[in-house]
Structures are given as C-alpha cells and as structure tokens.
C-alpha cells in the first residue's frame, strides 16, 4: 500500500452570488494522501469481455476523511473526478470509485 499521491476532496457550499441569489460552489473538504488505481479497461470474469471505463479508484485512510460521500468530488492530476461509490476496505480504508467528465 503506497499512499503517494495527494488528492483534494471537495464539497459543495452554498454562497450568495453577485445577483443576490444562492449558488453552490466547490470548496476543499480535505487534502489527503491516496493510493490511485486506473480502472480503464478490465476483464469481465463471467464473459471474457473487455470493459472500458474512465474511472479511477482512490484508496484513502478512513480516519483522514471519515465523512466522504458520493455528493463530493476529487481534484487530482488537473482533472475533476466525481465520486460514484464509497466502499469500506477493512477497518482503516475507504475505496472511492470516481469518474471523470470533461464537460467542466
């Protein structure tokens, strides 16, 4: 286990816009070290098909970011990754599966 990449986990925060309306803005929740794995292309064990994905797996210490949710996103490698799932691995780690969308 090598936590050798720093990632920024972001959450939305309501703020007042210039016109006085309420806007959601992204703010930093936590900056943490992560072990990152590319999920692009993998073998489906049931059919021997190759499946392609733009997803990444970010493994982090659970104590570093205990309240991470799928409403948050990750900033890493100059890209934005939207958390699609959060899974516990053992007692000490979260596995955050996230997708990148280039429409921002």
Bridge partners of 39, per DSSP, are none
Coil, helix or strand at residue 85: strand
Torsion of Cα atoms, 7 then 26 then 52 then 3, to 10°: 10
Average pLDDT over residues 50-78: 86
Helices (H) and strands (E) in the chain, counts: 0, 8
Tell me how far apart the alpha carbons of residues 53 and 17 are, in angstroms, rounded to a whole number: 36
Neighbours of 13 (CB within 10 A): 12
For position 52, what pLDDT does the model report? Answer: 46
Using an 8 Å Cβ cutoff, are 17 and 23 in contact? yes
Provide the whole-model pTM: 0.78
Average pLDDT over residues 37-54: 57
Q: CATH topology for 5-15+22-100?
A: Thrombin, subunit H (2.40.10)
């Amino acid at each position: 286990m090598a936590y050798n990449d720093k990632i920024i986990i972001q959450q939305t925060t309501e703020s007042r816009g210039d016109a006085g309306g309420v806007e959601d803005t992204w703010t930093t929740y936590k900056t943490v070290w992560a072990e990152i794995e590319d999920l692009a292309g993998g073998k489906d064990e049931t059919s021997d098909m190759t499946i392609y994905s733009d997803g990444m797996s970010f493994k982090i210490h659970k104590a570093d970011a205990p309240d991470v949710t799928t409403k948050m996103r990750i900033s890493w490698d100059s890209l934005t990754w939207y958390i699609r799932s959060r899974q516990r691995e053992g007692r000490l780690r979260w596995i955050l599966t996230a997708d990148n969308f280039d429409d921002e």
